[in-house]
């Protein structure tokens, strides 16, 4: 796609992980989960779906995935995502923006996920503050949330 071609977005993912097609919220659970499963990124970082008939580009307000809940099991933290999958939280990928919203890399580092308010509050139970920085202790190590602007 040349830079002069304007991308026409039929899909939108809002900052809460909701999908919209042609301005209408996708409410059908199976369709929603299927779209999340098909989600890809091209070489320029643009999000798209490809169901076999070509790429359908997606406008994303913030991140395509959101962390719905955080669970601590033993020494590890696990996150539940909006696509109903669960994975171990990679503490080395944690970041926090200027609005104190945490993010993490998911799906083997392919995507970013924004923490929902509920996940944020649960996660804050485990965070400690040192100066202006937040960190989480795991296996005797401090894992600082890197600040992003």
Same domain flag for 75 and 111: yes
Look at the alpha carbons of 106, 15, 147, 115 in this order and tell me if their dihedral is positive or negative: negative
Same domain flag for 51 and 87: no
Whether pLDDT at 4 is above 50: no
Same domain flag for 141 and 87: yes
pTM: 0.87
pLDDT tens profile 100-132: 899 999 999 999 999 999 999 999 999 999 998
Please tell me the total count of domains within the chain. Answer: 2
At 5, is the pLDDT very low, low, confident or very high (cuts 50, 70, 90)? low
Range of the structural domain that residue 19 is part of: 11-60
pLDDT tens profile 43-99: 999 999 988 888 999 999 999 999 999 999 988 999 999 999 999 999 999 999 989
Same domain flag for 142 and 71: yes
Q: Would 2 be classed as within a structural domain?
A: no
Q: Would 1 be classed as within a structural domain?
A: no
Same domain flag for 74 and 124: yes
Asked if 135 contacts 147 with a C-beta cutoff of 8 angstroms, the reply is no
Same domain flag for 117 and 84: yes
Same domain flag for 90 and 29: no
Look-up of token digits 């923490």: 115
Which DSSP category does 32 fall into?
Answer: H
Portion of the chain with pLDDT greater than 90, in percent: 74
């Amino acid at each position: 796609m040349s830079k002069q071609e304007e991308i026409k977005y039929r899909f939108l993912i809002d900052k809460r992980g909701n999908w919209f097609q042609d301005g209408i919220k996708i409410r059908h659970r199976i369709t929603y989960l299927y779209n999340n499963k098909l989600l890809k990124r091209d070489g320029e970082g643009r999000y798209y779906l490809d169901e076999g008939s070509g790429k359908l580009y997606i406008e994303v307000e913030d991140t395509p995935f959101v962390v719905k809940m955080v669970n601590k099991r033993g020494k590890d933290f696990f996150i539940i995502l909006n696509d109903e999958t669960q994975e171990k939280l990679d503490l080395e990928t944690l970041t926090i923006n200027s609005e104190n919203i945490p993010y993490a890399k998911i799906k083997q580092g392919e995507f970013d996920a924004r923490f929902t308010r509920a996940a944020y509050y649960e996660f804050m139970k485990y965070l400690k503050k040192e100066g202006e920085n937040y960190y989480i202790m795991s296996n005797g190590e401090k894992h600082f949330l890197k600040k992003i602007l």
